[in-house]
Structure 1
């Protein structure tokens, strides 16, 4: 797996484009849809922290590539997601730092984004494994990751600090390259079912 270069990906009315300063106002609006920064178990920036959030994400390259999630029809920024902990030497990366405006949660958006990111990771970048992680108390995120078909690897205890100063346990998941064809078929099926609703 080579270094992960900035790229724009599109599917199902959703576009992922490399996060940049011009996305700041849109990110503020997306975070404000549900005041997501008040949730204890997420990393959503407060409105006055958005510029720093974007700067830090850009500064973390090449071990992180952050995306703005765009609704193609309206052009609105509806969230953010990233490749992170990118380790080309072992063909491994993770997908995370993911959040969406409250009005887009429990819609096709997360499935579309994961299908885009995993397809690119496995089929273009040649990843051997894609990891995902979440807070041990973020049960909604754990359920969403499990619905993708990821396997639970375990729990890293006393692993990372939350915004309120407490220290979380981190639940780790992964999908191996050999599992990807079945998971890809499952995600496509889920998106087709969503269209039929």
Structure 2
């Protein structure tokens, strides 16, 4: 495994998730009552400490907190998970942001920082994403990044309401990265013109 860096760009900082972020994250998940969205992994406000402890206990997950530098507050999380060092593959997931940050520069900034680190520092070959088949907003966001749909794994996840559901899998390969990086950089320039 590798030590998580602190990454910063466009007023957003990613750093290792710690219990000291719990109060901010409890507030962030209340922005939009995100835990009520059936297809996501956003914790209930009173379960944020458990969420952080679980993230820390998972051997193949390394979690970041997302900080808005303007306020100094944690506004969400994202993680590396299913890390396969020998195959040079990992997935990005457990990503959520307070609803007021949806469709802003935040997700593009985070993904640009993470993908740059994965492909250019770690020199990994493949990045994957997975999402519930019913989470169309997440699928659209992953596709906007430039990831390719690999397929659907049927019946491998259980939603909060107990319904067994399917997972949509996506990936991005290192040779695709230069074009995706250019696209993300251009998108980010447009999004940050108003900052």
1:2-39 alpha-carbon deviations (Å, 9 max, x no partner): x2312211111000010000000011010010110001
What residue number does 1:147 align with? 144
Query: What residue is the counterpart of 1:20 in the other structure?
Result: 18
User: Which runs of 5 or more residues in structure 2 are unaligned?
Assistant: none
Give the TM-score, by structure 2 length: 0.97
2:189 aligned residue: 192
Instruction: Determine the C-alpha separation between the residues in 1 that align with 2:82 and 2:191.
Output: 31
Counterpart in the other structure of 2:3: 5
- Is the Cα contact below 8 Å between 1:4 and 1:65 reproduced in 2? no
**C-alpha distance in structure 1 between counterparts of 2:2 and 2:150, whole Å:** 24
Query: Residue 196 of structure 1: CA displacement?
Result: 3.1
Query: Within 5 A, what are the aligned runs for 1:96-107?
Result: 96-107=93-104
Q: How many residues align?
A: 194
Is the aligned partner of 1:163 residue 2:181? Answer: no
Q: Kindly report structure 1 stretches of 4+ aligned residues shifted beyond 6 Å.
A: none
Q: Provide the secondary structure at the position in 2 that maps to 1:90.
A: coil
Contact 1:27 1:79 in 2 (8 A): yes
Deviations 1:38-58, CA, capped at 9 Å, x for gaps: 011111000111111000001
Unaligned runs of 5+ in 1: none
Aligned pair partner of 1:40 in 35, 38, 41: 38
Aligned match of 2:70 in 59, 69, 73? 73
- Deviation string 1:72-131 (CA, Å, 9 cap, x unpaired) is 111011111001100101000000100000000010000000001110000011110000
